[in-house]
């Protein structure tokens, strides 16, 4: 499984756009990139998933360059409620690999 | 739709007592099932995963065990709890298929405090 590297923490302010980058240099051809959000005392929640180029949904965008060795989660106009830990996960989308291993995540703090 | 149930939400147990945490999944068949533990302020540690009934793989040698008696049921157990078993335990599932948006879905977690 591809190892991921993220910043340990980030700070921003309400209304700003936040970009969190994840490095995954040994990503495999059949790997997808998925981002999760976790609030204290809750399980991680799926945010967005992509394979290449750009994916956008109602809460975030995911940018993946052509070499796929990194990805950037973009949160537009963050609010205080976006304060959470964000995990980048690289794993086969449908899988013969059975286990998933999360990295340490990025602790995002949003200030008024 | 698929749902995952995990209980209890919180648990306080004395050292040396047994443990049983249960996780069930609805709305899918033959899911991969996982148990994770998260210490306070830390990341997720994979404890066990299962690809089918009776098939359990352990990632970390420890005081815990897991069982999968039914396709959509995953149980985490201990015969004698240690203080170090305290933490936030999460169950998760994933499914094979062409719909990659399944991703991995987590339960709401169990906060275990061993005293």
- Span A65-88, pLDDT tens digits: 999 999 999 999 999 999 999 999
Interchain CB distance below 8 Å, B106 and A45: yes
Q: Under an 8 Å CB criterion, which residues of B touch A?
A: 32, 34, 36, 42-44, 46, 49, 51, 57, 59, 88, 90, 92, 94, 96-98, 100-101, 103-109, 111
pLDDT of residue B31: 87
pLDDT of residue A56: 95
HEC profile for chain A? CCCCECCCEEEEECCCCEEEEEECCCCCCCEEEEEEEECCCCCCEEEEEECCEEEECCCCEEEECCCCCEEEEEECCCCHHHCEEEEEEEEECCCCCCCCCCCCCEEEEEEC
- The pLDDT-based confidence of A14 (bands split at 50, 70, 90) is very high
In angstroms, the Cα distances linking A91 to A27, A32, A100, A108, B21 are: 8, 6, 7, 23, 27
**CA angle, corner A43, sides to A92 and A102, nearest 5?**
40
Give the Cβ contact number of residue A40 at 10 Å.
Answer: 10
Tens digit of pLDDT for each residue in B53-94? 999 998 886 889 999 999 999 999 999 999 999 999 999 988
pLDDT of residue A95: 53
Taking the C-alpha atoms of residue B80 and residue B94, their distance in angstroms, rounded to an integer, is: 30
- The pLDDT-based confidence of B21 (bands split at 50, 70, 90) is very high
pLDDT of residue B96: 59
Interchain CB distance below 8 Å, B103 and A46: yes
| Range ranked top by mean pLDDT from A25-39, A71-85, B26-40 | A71-85
Tell me which residue of B6, B11, B18, B10 sits closest to B79, measured CA to CA. Answer: B18
Interchain CB distance below 8 Å, A100 and B34: yes
Interchain CB distance below 8 Å, A44 and B88: no
């Amino acid at each position: 499984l591809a190892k991921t590297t993220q910043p340990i923490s980030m700070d921003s302010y309400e209304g700003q756009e936040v970009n969190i980058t994840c490095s995954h240099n040994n990503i495999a051809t059949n790997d997808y990139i998925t981002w999760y959000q976790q609030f204290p005392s809750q399980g991680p929640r799926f945010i967005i998933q992509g394979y290449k180029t750009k994916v956008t949904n109602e809460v975030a965008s995911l940018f993946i360059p052509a070499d796929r060795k990194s990805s950037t989660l973009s949160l537009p106009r963050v609010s205080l409620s976006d304060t959470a830990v964000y995990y980048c996960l690289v794993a086969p989308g449908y899988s013969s690999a059975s286990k998933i291993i999360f990295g340490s995540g990025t602790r995002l703090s949003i200030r008024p | 739709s698929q749902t995952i149930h995990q209980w209890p939400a919180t648990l306080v147990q004395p050292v040396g007592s047994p443990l049983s945490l249960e996780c069930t999944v609805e709305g899918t068949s033959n899911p991969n099932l996982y148990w994770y533990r998260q210490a306070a302020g830390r990341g997720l540690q994979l404890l066990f995963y299962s690809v089918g009934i009776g098939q359990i793989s352990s990632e970390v040698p420890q005081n815990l065990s897991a069982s999968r008696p039914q396709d959509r049921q995953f149980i985490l157990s201990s015969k004698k709890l240690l203080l170090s078993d305290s933490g936030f335990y999460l169950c998760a599932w994933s499914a094979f298929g062409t719909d990659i948006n399944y991703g991995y879905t987590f339960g709401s977690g169990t906060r275990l405090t061993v005293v």
